Chain A
Amino acid sequence: MRDFLESVVIGFNSFVIIYFLALNSLYLVIVLIASRAQRRAQRMSSETALEDLFANPLTPGVSVLVPAYNEEPSIVSSVHSILDLRYPQLEVVIIDDGSTDGTFDVLQQEFELQPSTRVAAGVVETVGTVNSVHISRDGQIVVIRKENARRRGDALNVALEYSRYPLVCMIDADSVLEKDALMHVVRPFVDDPERVAATGGAIRPINGCPTERGMILEKRLPKAWAPRIQVVEYLRSFLLGRVGWSAFNGLMIISGAFGLFRRDLVQQIGGLTADSLAEDADLVNSLHHRLRHEKQDYRIVFVPHPVCWTEVPENLKILARQRRRWSHGLLEVLWRFRGMIANPRYGRMGLLVLPYYVVFELLTPVVEILGLICLPLGMAFGILNWQAAVLYALVAIGYGILLSVVAIVVDDLSYQTYRRWKDLGILLVAAFLENFGFRQLHAFWRLRGLWSGIRGSNAAWGEMPRVGFKETSGASAS
């Protein structure tokens, strides 16, 4: 029995080491690609290009689609932040997805909405019945009230049906955008109109930043450690992961918090999958699937410039729910597109990107949790010596910290988002602390999400209790 247990523990540990080596090597490649792309983007950034984009009367219009479910504390600030964007032609289409709070009332009061009627494009199927349409006097804001179908994808499909411009920007109701956010993400479309199908912008947590009328007055770090650690996570994910995959035209996820798409292409694929938990990743993969299937030359681009700020959960319970949903959603998406995995017909998406997500994203929590169980077990039964166990843990933790530090360094060199010395210190400490407790909890939450996905349990797009933005003035502070 002991021999069997010993061979299982040693075998598993060897597997973990190989898994870990492969994961690290891939990360390293992604980091190298990302830093090259980042450096190039930084050195060739151009204010004149943005000026021309703004001044050109032929710049394509953008419909900003905002699904809102019980967003009373932050919706008005968000809409103001969209209306204040530097962009020549835009409309805001808000879907009040059966909110039970005062979301619609605050919108109606602030923007003097009037009941109206609007012709839907009739191209994409929707689920929840539309109850009424309201528009502002200048026609720039359209609010559609509909029954809640418990899916964000359905809300976005309805918004798509009622939008008018050739580019559609999907954002979260709690997102606050930088003044030039749309210009940054539209630029790839005008510079390469034949090929660019979608662009995604970099997202940063807004918790702790003082705002006024939906504008960030100062970029600050959150006060609590849970959101501070999420800042580090976002830096790592957006500045390293997505930049690297984008340079490789293998971007699998454009965050639902801020993404821009060609409306005709989204309509051609039938809109978003209404019953998907990860409708953002699902949409991007549907585009890859369709465009690769049709052998089209296309690009899905990530814009590393920080453009969108969003509220992240401060409370571990809500954070756990969010991460479970993400993990469940990832499983759903990978299962839906399983036909692409390892299929040479889908090029690098099929042969590299999707297998990477299966092995190194979806299954990581399983390996990590099993590793966490096996390590003390091996030590307790005397199969592993404690020096090796401690060294192994140090390497794993050290590598995690190193990746986070690289992301912090890249941000500081390229964008200097957080200017205070104190912030740099806090970020480095958060990168360290993340590995002691948070990372393990995160693996556990992801494992639970994976399990609920395997069981096929029904998780819906739901409410994330909002703290609301830290308004320096005005009434929308919570």
Chain B
Amino acid sequence: MSTEAILLIAATLNLVLIIGLSLSTALLKARRERRAKRHEEELALLRPVMMRYLATWEDGDAHDLADMLIGYRGVTTSFEELVAGLLPKLRGADRSVLVDILRRRGTIDEARLNTSSRVAVRRYRAVELLGAAGVSEGIPEAAKLLADHSTDVRLAAVRALGRIGTGEAGAALLEHLDSEEGQKYPLPPHPVTMALLRIGADATQALTRALDAEQVEVRTIAAEVLGVLGVYPAVSELQIRMRVDPSVSVRLGATHALGRLSMPSSVDDLTAMLRTEEDVEVLAAACNALGRIIDPASMPELEQAVAHPHPTVRVAAAMALVPFGETGLDRLREIAQRDAAGGDAAREVLARNSIATNTTPLISL
């Protein structure tokens, strides 16, 4: 075949592809617009029925509306979208009623079945729906998907368990993390903490147990979440973790938690940390914690920390002195006069405080 012939074929192919792609984009755009219009029409029909049902179901005479919603088969996914949009806004009985409609439509059973689908996107959507509906019968399926080979599906399962929101869901999550499967299919801490925070008080027992878990990640997550949830009975366990845990991340998590819980009984351990700890982040967290507890006994240690070689610790210690009021500010003013380590942090914190409170810093900047 001659070069010209090859070029001619290539040029023709290009032209066909360009025209074909442009036309199919236009066709798809037109179809999308038609579907969007149909979708809006269906929503306009469904929304008032749904609202009327939610407003009247308690009276017991809304069976017709319920039957209509259960039997509704639209062309687009408007029903599911409407429900997905409403579920997060509803609480209590209204929410249960809506979930019941989904159950009677077979949507929940279908989603549970789809969690075993071979297609990752189907498993993903199914577990998202179970989470949005918050149905506890979905816990085994969601827990199973924590070991899915697709990371996206695993993360969706974590979010679903958080939204289902029972102690059982929290325990399933923590058990998975501490298991062999959990090591094979790891879960990032951030979505796990959020799921546990959503579960809230129901997860505290499992979280307190998890402070003794084998895996560092599990102990860290448990410590952080206990602090955010404000679980005061866990203070002594957290103090132990902060003192003796060999992992920096666990000590950091426990220090954050003790700061959030702000119990005076933690002051001795926290000041001891300032003397012995080497990690900069943990030291800064200990300073923050002492700044929240505001026990005068911790001031000398904080003043020493203002002269720490690392700027993160210096600034954290200086900031921790501000909540002590005039006494703390006086100490900072003294330190600010120094040129040596600590003076810079004290000056920064004083300046920031004066701007925030609209006062003069009483030192030259």
A394 at the interface (CB under 8 A from B): yes
* Closest partner residue, chain A, to B162 (CB atom): A52
Task: Flag if B14 contacts A114 (CB, 8 Å).
Answer: no
Task: Flag if B351 contacts A191 (CB, 8 Å).
Answer: no
Task: Flag if B228 contacts A58 (CB, 8 Å).
Answer: yes
Chain A min CB distance to B306 (Å): 11
Task: Flag if A402 contacts B18 (CB, 8 Å).
Answer: yes
Residues of B within 8 A of A116 (CB): 348, 351-352, 355, 365
Task: Flag if A119 contacts B311 (CB, 8 Å).
Answer: yes
A406 at the interface (CB under 8 A from B): yes
Task: Flag if A401 contacts B344 (CB, 8 Å).
Answer: no
Among the listed stretches A40-48, A216-224, A322-330, A456-464, which one makes contact with chain B, having 4 or more residues with CB under 8 Å of it? A40-48
Task: Flag if B151 contacts A191 (CB, 8 Å).
Answer: yes
Task: Flag if A391 contacts B190 (CB, 8 Å).
Answer: no
A102 at the interface (CB under 8 A from B): no
143-160 of chain B: CB within 8 A of chain A: 151-152, 155-156, 159
Per the bound structure, the CA–CA distance linking A53 and B195 in Å amounts to: 11
Known A58-B228, A116-B351: A406·B8 in contact at CB below 8 Å: no
106-163 of chain B: CB within 8 A of chain A: 120-121, 124, 128, 131-132, 151-152, 155-156, 159, 162-163
A101 at the interface (CB under 8 A from B): no
Known A49-B155, A395-B7, A395-B10: A191·B21 in contact at CB below 8 Å: no
Chain B interface size band reads 35 or more
B270 at the interface (CB under 8 A from A): no
Task: Flag if A117 contacts B351 (CB, 8 Å).
Answer: yes
Task: Flag if B348 contacts A388 (CB, 8 Å).
Answer: no
Chain B min CB distance to A467 (Å): 30
B255 at the interface (CB under 8 A from A): no
* Closest partner residue, chain B, to A121 (CB atom): B311
Chain A min CB distance to B85 (Å): 10
Residues of A within 8 A of B239 (CB): none
Per the bound structure, the CA–CA distance linking A121 and B124 in Å amounts to: 43
Task: Flag if A193 contacts B7 (CB, 8 Å).
Answer: no
B189 at the interface (CB under 8 A from A): yes
B202-237 CB contact bits vs A (8 Å, 1 = yes)?
Answer: 000000000000000000000010001000000000
* Partner of B190 from A46, A48, A56, A118 at Cβ < 8 Å: A56
Per the bound structure, the CA–CA distance linking A408 and B334 in Å amounts to: 64
B90 at the interface (CB under 8 A from A): no
Contact residues of B: prevailing secondary structure: helix
Chain A interface size band reads 35 or more
Chain A min CB distance to B191 (Å): 6
Among the listed stretches B25-33, B66-74, B287-295, which one makes contact with chain A, having 4 or more residues with CB under 8 Å of it? B25-33
Task: Flag if B347 contacts A191 (CB, 8 Å).
Answer: no
B46 at the interface (CB under 8 A from A): no
Task: Flag if B14 contacts A401 (CB, 8 Å).
Answer: yes
Per the bound structure, the CA–CA distance linking A401 and B15 in Å amounts to: 9
* Partner of B224 from A55, A58, A59, A192 at Cβ < 8 Å: A58
B362 at the interface (CB under 8 A from A): no
Per the bound structure, the CA–CA distance linking A40 and B124 in Å amounts to: 11
86-122 of chain A: CB within 8 A of chain B: 114-122
Chain A min CB distance to B258 (Å): 15
Per the bound structure, the CA–CA distance linking A428 and B28 in Å amounts to: 15
Task: Flag if B131 contacts A409 (CB, 8 Å).
Answer: no
Per the bound structure, the CA–CA distance linking A412 and B151 in Å amounts to: 27
Task: Flag if B14 contacts A119 (CB, 8 Å).
Answer: no
A363 at the interface (CB under 8 A from B): no
361-385 of chain A: CB within 8 A of chain B: none
* Closest partner residue, chain B, to A52 (CB atom): B194
Task: Flag if B22 contacts A405 (CB, 8 Å).
Answer: yes
Residues of A within 8 A of B10 (CB): 395, 398-399
* Partner of B29 from A120, A191, A392, A421 at Cβ < 8 Å: A421
Per the bound structure, the CA–CA distance linking A391 and B2 in Å amounts to: 12
* Closest partner residue, chain A, to B5 (CB atom): A391
Interface centre among A55, A116, A139 (most CB of B within 10 A): A116
B193 at the interface (CB under 8 A from A): yes
Chain B min CB distance to A417 (Å): 13
A18 at the interface (CB under 8 A from B): no
A29 at the interface (CB under 8 A from B): no
Per the bound structure, the CA–CA distance linking A44 and B159 in Å amounts to: 14
Known A49-B191, A190-B188, A405-B21: A391·B348 in contact at CB below 8 Å: no
Per the bound structure, the CA–CA distance linking A53 and B190 in Å amounts to: 8
Known A119-B314, A190-B191: A398·B15 in contact at CB below 8 Å: yes
* Closest partner residue, chain B, to A60 (CB atom): B190
Residues of B within 8 A of A120 (CB): 311
Task: Flag if B189 contacts A193 (CB, 8 Å).
Answer: yes
Task: Flag if B18 contacts A405 (CB, 8 Å).
Answer: yes
Residues of A within 8 A of B224 (CB): 58
Per the bound structure, the CA–CA distance linking A443 and B312 in Å amounts to: 49
Per the bound structure, the CA–CA distance linking A43 and B195 in Å amounts to: 22
405-459 of chain A: CB within 8 A of chain B: 405-406, 408-409, 412-413, 416, 421, 424, 428
Known A190-B188, A191-B191: A48·B131 in contact at CB below 8 Å: yes
Per the bound structure, the CA–CA distance linking A122 and B228 in Å amounts to: 32
Residues of A within 8 A of B155 (CB): 49, 191
Interface centre among A58, A138, A191, A412 (most CB of B within 10 A): A58
A135 at the interface (CB under 8 A from B): yes
Per the bound structure, the CA–CA distance linking A401 and B14 in Å amounts to: 9
A166-198 CB contact bits vs B (8 Å, 1 = yes)?
Answer: 000000000000000000000000111110000
Interface centre among A48, A53, A191 (most CB of B within 10 A): A48
B340 at the interface (CB under 8 A from A): no
Chain A min CB distance to B106 (Å): 23
B197 at the interface (CB under 8 A from A): yes
Task: Flag if B18 contacts A139 (CB, 8 Å).
Answer: no
Write the residues of chain B forming the contact surface with A, with a CB cutoff of 8 angstroms. Answer: 3-4, 7-8, 10-11, 14-15, 17-18, 21-22, 24-26, 28-29, 32, 120-121, 124, 128, 131-132, 151-152, 155-156, 159, 162-163, 188-191, 193-195, 197, 224, 228, 311-312, 314-315, 344-345, 347-348, 351-352, 355-356, 358, 365
28 A-B pairs (CB sep. < 8 Å): A40-B152, A43-B124, A48-B131, A48-B159, A52-B159, A56-B190, A56-B194, A58-B190, A58-B193, A58-B224, A58-B228, A117-B347, A119-B315, A121-B311, A190-B188, A190-B190, A193-B190, A395-B14, A398-B10, A398-B14, A399-B10, A399-B14, A402-B17, A405-B18, A412-B28, A412-B29, A413-B25, A413-B28
Beyond A138-B356, A388-B4, A392-B7: 10 further Cβ-contacts under 8 Å?
A46-B128, A48-B159, A48-B163, A135-B351, A136-B355, A139-B352, A394-B7, A395-B11, A398-B11, A406-B21
Among all A-B residue pairs, the 7 with the closest Cβ atoms: A398-B14, A190-B190, A391-B7, A116-B351, A394-B11, A56-B194, A52-B194
